[in-house]
A and B are shown apart, each in its own frame.
Chain A
């Protein structure tokens, strides 16, 4: 008996995800617009570790009372496969995109015994005029810049408990319906703290399988879910499916990934097949590669 919620079929399958390293920072600015701008710039070209070195996105927006300096801000999460790569990415991205953004400041967004350098590396931009300040248990660097000072916390925390690669596949009769379902899912999933959807607007249209026929390709198109290849390849798609969109989820913890997936499934099934997706599936590699498995049947609304 296939699972069905509100007319939306749910495949009896699971999403397979991997352990990752993650860090978080809080970016503030004089107003919400510029805090978001710095965050969006630093999380640009950070959709997949396959080609970007890291996966990053805004986790949540923070009201002034929830930030260290009392200004509007964003919590940004960054995921990578190793501590060294994560360190390199966070310093490069904050250095090029947050340090440069008008009025910005940057603070630790995560606590923990494992620490990554933030201001402790960027301080050298100050060319000797940087100022170290310790307030209570926190250590800040003040770097003189042309609009005043860039204040950056010396270190931020890192977790080794993070999970990358949780996913949902939304199968619909048309592109418009698939996109409507994906947008509804993203709107619900963005409210889950500790989880990010790193692809453009949170949505991927080019889901991939591991490897390919060409030498050197680590990933290639997921032909089983490509509607134009139905009939010429071993397709997963039924006759009424013309568009598939994927949502990839990275979480600070495994619980954050499952909470986000659950929120997404709830939103897609709430929308129903007439306006959105008619079927929900998930991507896996047979269960042998990833440590974390998220069975869709456990995440129903």
Chain B
């Protein structure tokens, strides 16, 4: 079986909702070309936008991307999806399994509310990485979300479980309102990381430029957790060198709320 490939013919004329094109939705489906993707009255279909080749649906490749590609692989549960190009908003939102790779940049709300699987973005992402949409209670609820580039503001907002790693800097308020889970930010975080976090861990490679005064310094004892998480990040192929070392500095907070969260930095 070869990968099911969607080669983009030209820049889409409207914003697209690509959520119908997941491995589990396309399994055994014929007439893929007739699936409607357009969100305006143009109602573009797969056949209007892509040249489709290959068979099977466990491996899906989008040759070419666009910032108009919204909801790529939304809700995917299995298989692999790869986008050779940029995507728009809500890539990999609510995914539960499988692997989604975006080789370009992603828009806002990438990985929003994901519960499992692995989402890797090689470029930058917009604001609200992994964050809930308005009215939802929790953001990322499981799985692994990796951004090799830079993330915008409010990354990991209301995260509850799982691992988010941003490897080239994050905007303001990274990890705000975290409920639990682990956020790794290399390359510096913006203002007030962990703002109003209840529990959870934010791992930074350098001191934040502006930490909320409601975080308190909590020493730097030897930490088996730091050793475990360093080894885990290396084993997952996220980083190559240990981040925290054996005894990272800890700031506890946010004491404006529950105060059981932590920001860890190498000593």
Q: For B230, give the chain A residue with the smallest CB separation.
A: A70
* CB–CB B223/A148 < 8 A: yes
Knowing A132-B180, A133-B201 are in contact, say whether A149-B221 is a contact too (CB < 8 A). yes
Q: Which residues of A contact B229 (CB under 8 A)?
A: 133, 135
* CB–CB B222/A30 < 8 A: yes
Knowing A70-B231, A129-B260, A132-B180 are in contact, say whether A105-B224 is a contact too (CB < 8 A). yes
* CB–CB A70/B223 < 8 A: no
* CB–CB A148/B221 < 8 A: yes
Judged by a CB distance under 8 angstroms, whether B182 is at the interface is yes
Q: Which residue from B161, B199, B227, B236 sits with its C-beta under 8 Å from A131?
A: B199
Number of chain B interface residues as a range: 20 to 34
Q: Which residues of B contact A70 (CB under 8 A)?
A: 227, 231
* CB–CB B228/A69 < 8 A: yes
Q: Which residue from A71, A135, A151 sits with its C-beta under 8 Å from B232?
A: A135
Say whether chain B's binding surface is mostly helix, strand, loop, or mixed.
mixed
Q: Which residues of B contact A30 (CB under 8 A)?
A: 222
Judged by a CB distance under 8 angstroms, whether A14 is at the interface is no
Knowing A68-B228, A70-B227 are in contact, say whether A103-B236 is a contact too (CB < 8 A). no
* CB–CB A151/B222 < 8 A: no
Q: Mark B191-221, 1 if CB is under 8 A from A, else 0.
A: 0000000010100000000000000000001
* CB–CB B260/A136 < 8 A: no
Judged by a CB distance under 8 angstroms, whether A142 is at the interface is yes
Judged by a CB distance under 8 angstroms, whether A215 is at the interface is no
Q: Which residues of B contact A135 (CB under 8 A)?
A: 163, 182, 228-229, 232
**Chain B CB within 10 Å, residue with most, of A30, A70, A132, A133:** A133
Q: Which residue from A71, A105, A131, A147 sits with its C-beta under 8 Å from B260?
A: A131
What CA separation (Å) do A109 and B125 show in the bound complex?
40
* CB–CB B224/A151 < 8 A: yes
B-binding residues in A (CB < 8 A): 28, 30, 68-71, 103, 105, 129, 131-136, 140, 142, 147-149, 151
- Not counting A103-B222, A148-B223, a sample of 9 additional A-B residue pairs whose C-beta atoms are within 8 angstroms of each other reads A69-B228, A70-B227, A71-B227, A105-B224, A129-B260, A135-B163, A135-B228, A148-B222, A151-B225
A–B pairs, 7, beta carbons within 8 Å: A30-B222, A69-B228, A133-B201, A134-B161, A147-B221, A147-B222, A148-B224
Query: Which 4 residue pairs spanning A and B have beta carbons closest together?
Result: A148-B221, A151-B224, A105-B224, A69-B227
